[in-house]
Amino acid sequence: MFLSRWATRSHSGEPQEEERDGLLPQPATLSGSDKPVSDSHRQCSSYPLKKAATNFVYFLGVAAAGYLLFNGSRNGFSAPLGQQMPSSPYMFSGDTTKSNGTHDFKRTVVMVSIDGLRAAYLDRGLTPHLLDISKKGLRAKAMRPIFPTLTFPNHWALMTGLYAESHGIVANNFWDPVLKEEFQYNRIKSAWKPDWWLGEPMWETAERAGVPTANLMWPGPPKTMSNASSTYFVPWKDRVSLGEKLDQILHWIDLPLEERPQLIVAYEPSLDQAGHATGPNSKRVNETLVNVDLFAKHLTEALGARNLNAIVDIIFVSDHGMTDTSHPELIYLDDLIGLDGVNAITHADGWPAMGLRFREDTNVTQHLNALVEGSARHPDKFDVYTRENMPERWHFSDNERIAPIYVVPKIGYVLTTKAIGETGMNKGSHGYDNGAQEMHAMFVAHGPFSYHAKSLANGNRPRKMGWHTACEDTYIMDTFQNVEIYNLVMKLLGIDKASAPNNGTVGFWDQYL
C-alpha cells in the first residue's frame, strides 16, 4: 500500500476532484511581445523632469503632506476626534477613505502568490516588469519559506504567520495519529475539512475586524474551524488563465465601496507545474516566467490606470523555490533499512524530505539506528532527525502530526526504493532544507507601503548626490522569513490590534512603517 501510493504521487498542487465555475468570462490577453514599462509611465516621481524640478516638487509634496497630517483634510486623511493619524504621507488609516478622483476607497491589499517562483528567477532577464515594479516599489533579496518547503505548508504559513508545527499542515500529505486520518492535498473532501487547518488566516482576522475579503483559489479551506469564511470565495479550478484571474481581481476592485473587498488573495500555479514537469532551467519554465511577469505588469498598470497606486498595496510572493532533479542521485531506502524495513513503513509523509511511520510491531529503534548510521556514512547525501533533535530553526517538532523519523536529503538527492527507482519523479522539485538558496521564494511590493519604506530607508542613509525621489533607487530588503507576511498585511489594513497569535517577529515591520 505504501509503495503504490508513493509511486503515483500527484504534483498538481491543488485539489482535483471538483471543478467549479465562478470566474468572469472574456479573459484578458496576456501573451505577446510587451516591452518593459517605460519611464514615462512611472507612478512615483519618475517623469522626465530635470533633477532640480523633481526635487522641488518632492519637497512641496512632503510639505503639503505634513500640513495635511497636522491639520487634517476633507479628502480621506482626516481622523475622528482622538484618533492618531498615520505617520506617513503615503498612508492613511484603515477605517477612513481616500478618493482616486472618481470613487472613495479604503485601504486595500492585493496579494498574489506565484507558486514555485524561485528568488533567483528574477535574475534571468525574463522578468522586466516585476523588476520595474520592484524599482518603483521594493523587493527582498529572497523570502525564506518554512520547512518543509512544500506548497500547502507554506501557503498556510503566509496566511497565518505560523510555522508548520503550529498551523498543523506539516506536508502536502501526512498522517494524523490523533484523528487517525490522512491529509491529502489533492482530495477536496480531505483538504477542505476545517479540522486540519490550525491558526487564524489573515482573511478570517480581517472579516472578524469588519474588513471584507476575497479569496481566489488560495490553497486552504473555504471555512475554518470557527466557521469563518471570506466574503468572496472562488474555489480551485485547474487551467484557469491568468487573464481570467486578472479580470476577477479587477472586478472586485471595481465593486461599489460597500461591496468591495479590502483584502484580495490570489493563487497562480502554472510556474510550479512547469518546474515539476520540465525542470527549473527549461524552456517551458522560462516561457511561463515571462507570462506571469506580464500578468504582474497588467495588474499593476490596471490599478495605476484607476489612480490607485497611492491607495492599493500589491504584494507578489511565492511559496518556495525549485531545484533540478532531472538526473538526481538516488538514495535507496532498501540499502539502509532492508526490504523488510521498507515493507514495514505505513506512512511516508511528504517528499523529497520524508517523514516515516512504521508498523507498531516493528523494531523502530533498529530502523532509526540504521538510518542514522547511513547518514553518518554519507553526510553529504542526507540527514536523519527525530522530533527530539530537529533543527530549531525549522520550528518543526512540537506536533503529533510530524512523523517520529524524518529523512531529509541534500539538494540533488532523492529518496526512493529499488522497486520504484525513478518512476514518477519530477524533473524539478522542492521540499528540501529551507536554508538552501534553491528553495528561497520571492517578495515584491508596490504601493503606499513600498513608497514609505523606501523613503524611510533613503532618509536613514547618507546621500552623496543630494535630495532625490524615493523611486530613483531599487530598494532591496534583506532576506526574511515568510511568517512575517501576516503581520505586514494586518498593519497595511490598519487592523494589527486585532491580529491573532502568530510566529512573526514583534516589531519586524516597524522599520518600514
For every residue of 168-184, DSSP letters joined together read: S--SSEEEETTTTEEEE
Residue 441 CB coordination number (10 Å): 28
Residue 369 CB coordination number (10 Å): 13
% of the chain exceeding 70 in pLDDT = 79
Residue 31 CB coordination number (10 Å): 12
288 is catalytic: no
Grade residue 62 by pLDDT with cuts at 50, 70 and 90: very low
% of the chain exceeding 90 in pLDDT = 73
Contact in structure between 399 and 168 (CB atoms under 8 Å): yes
Contact in structure between 153 and 163 (CB atoms under 8 Å): no
Contact in structure between 508 and 480 (CB atoms under 8 Å): yes
Give the mean model confidence (pLDDT) for residues 327-333. 94
Q: What per-residue confidence (pLDDT) applies to 94?
A: 62
* Mean pLDDT, the chain, whole residue set: 84
27 residue type, one letter: P
Q: What per-residue confidence (pLDDT) applies to 439?
A: 99
Cα separation, 168 vs 183, in Å, equals 10
pTM beyond 0.85: the answer is no
Contact in structure between 469 and 54 (CB atoms under 8 Å): yes
Cα separation, 485 vs 188, in Å, equals 26
Name the CA radius of gyration of the chain, rounded: 24
Give the mean model confidence (pLDDT) for residues 183-201. 93
Cα separation, 281 vs 322, in Å, equals 10
Grade residue 370 by pLDDT with cuts at 50, 70 and 90: very high
Q: What per-residue confidence (pLDDT) applies to 422?
A: 84
Cα separation, 268 vs 270, in Å, equals 6
- Reported as a single tens digit per residue, the pLDDT across 12-34 is 444 444 333 344 433 333 333 33
Side-chain half-sphere of 185: how many Cα atoms within 13 Å? 24
Cα separation, 398 vs 198, in Å, equals 14
Q: What per-residue confidence (pLDDT) applies to 43?
A: 37
Give the mean model confidence (pLDDT) for residues 293-319. 98
HEC-encoded secondary structure of 313-324: EEEEECCCCCEE
- Reported as a single tens digit per residue, the pLDDT across 263-288 is 999 999 999 999 999 999 999 999 99
Q: Cell for 376?
A: 553518518
Q: What per-residue confidence (pLDDT) applies to 29?
A: 33
Q: What per-residue confidence (pLDDT) applies to 92?
A: 59
Q: Domains for the chain: give ranges and CATH numbers.
A: 2-9+326-429 (3.30.1360.180), 50-99 (no CATH), 106-324+437-511 (3.40.720.10)
The set of residues, in sequence order, having a beta carbon less than 8 Å from that of 492 and lying 6+ positions away, is 107, 109, 313, 449
Backbone angles phi, psi at 479, to 5 degrees: -60, 135
Q: What per-residue confidence (pLDDT) applies to 458?
A: 73
pLDDT of 137 above 80: yes
SS3 480: strand
- Reported as a single tens digit per residue, the pLDDT across 378-412 is 999 999 999 999 999 999 999 999 999 999 999 99
Contact in structure between 356 and 341 (CB atoms under 8 Å): no
- Identify the active-site residue in 127, 151, 278, 416: 151
Q: What per-residue confidence (pLDDT) applies to 460?
A: 63
- Reported as a single tens digit per residue, the pLDDT across 440-495 is 999 999 999 998 888 887 776 544 433 334 455 678 999 999 999 999 999 999 99
Q: What per-residue confidence (pLDDT) applies to 511?
A: 87
